[in-house]
């Protein structure tokens, strides 16, 4: 696995980052968005055609649980439904940074999913995208969300 660029947590009610194009997203999606932003700041290439591959078995679990609790109370926000989609984990970064290349979230543990993601990225780099961001997300035993992001380019 790549060296983590950043690790951390984000509370479900934490304010969205300044300049965010999305009103609400899962805390894990904001963490991934932060990681992608760090990598893209240092990369001189065009962002639009970049692909994004994510690997996480947890994905938007915090928001899914929150929606379930709201359903019981019969007060469900439509914004939460959108944010609960597991694809939001990588989709938010695509929206925030204008990434229009291929994207996919593998809902499995990174230890199992990263090798698969590297094979997929290799295929995408043969013509579908000039670069691919490989993002992982895990939640450790203490509940801390941890993520990694690495930029893969064609050789």
- Confidence at residue 12, expressed as pLDDT on a 0 to 100 scale: 47
The pTM of this model reads 0.83
Sequence-distant (6+) residues with CB within 8 A of 140 are 146
Predicted local distance difference test score (pLDDT) of residue 38: 86
Residue of 80 and 137 predicted with greater confidence: 137
Q: How far apart are CA 49 and CA 33, in angstroms?
A: 17
Which residue segments constitute the domains of the chain, with CATH numbers given?
A: 24-60+86-153 (3.40.47.10)
Dump the DSSP string for 51-117.
Answer: EEEEE-SSTTHHHHHHHHHHHHHT---HHHHHHHSTTHHHHHHHHHHT--S-EEEE-S-HHHHHHHH
Cα gap 123→12, rounded to integer Å: 36
Q: List, for residues 33-73, the tens digit of each pLDDT value.
A: 888 988 898 889 999 999 999 999 887 777 777 777 777 88
What are 43's two structure tokens?
């990369």
* Stretch among 54-58, 77-81, 90-94, 131-135 having the lowest mean pLDDT: 77-81
According to the model, what pLDDT value does residue 147 have? 86
Task: Compare 12 and 32 and report the one with higher pLDDT.
Answer: 32
Instruction: Tell me what pLDDT residue 7 has.
Output: 42
- d(CA 155, CA 148) in angstroms, rounded, equals 21
pLDDT, average across residues 20-35:
81
- pLDDT attached to residue 2: 42
Q: What is the pLDDT of residue 6?
A: 42
Q: Give the pLDDT of residue 108.
A: 93
Taking each helix axis from N to C terminus, what angle separates 27-41 and 61-73, rounded to the nearest 10 degrees?
150
């Amino acid at each position: 696995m790549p060296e983590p660029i950043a690790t951390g947590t984000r509370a479900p009610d934490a304010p969205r980052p300044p300049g965010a194009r999305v009103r609400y997203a899962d805390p894990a999606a904001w963490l991934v968005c932060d990681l992608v932003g760090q990598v893209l700041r240092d990369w001189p290439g065009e962002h639009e055609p970049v692909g994004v591959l994510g690997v996480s078995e947890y994905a938007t679990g915090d928001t899914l649980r929150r929606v379930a609790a709201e359903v019981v109370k019969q007060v469900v926000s439509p914004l939460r439904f959108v944010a609960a989609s597991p694809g939001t984990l990588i989709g938010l970064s695509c929206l925030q940074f204008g990434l229009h290349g291929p994207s996919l979230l593998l809902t499995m543990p990174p230890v199992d999913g990263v090798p698969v993601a590297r094979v997929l990225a290799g295929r995408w780099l043969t013509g579908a995208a000039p670069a691919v961001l490989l993002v992982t997300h895990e939640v450790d035993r203490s509940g801390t969300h941890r993520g990694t992001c690495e930029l893969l380019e064609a050789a």
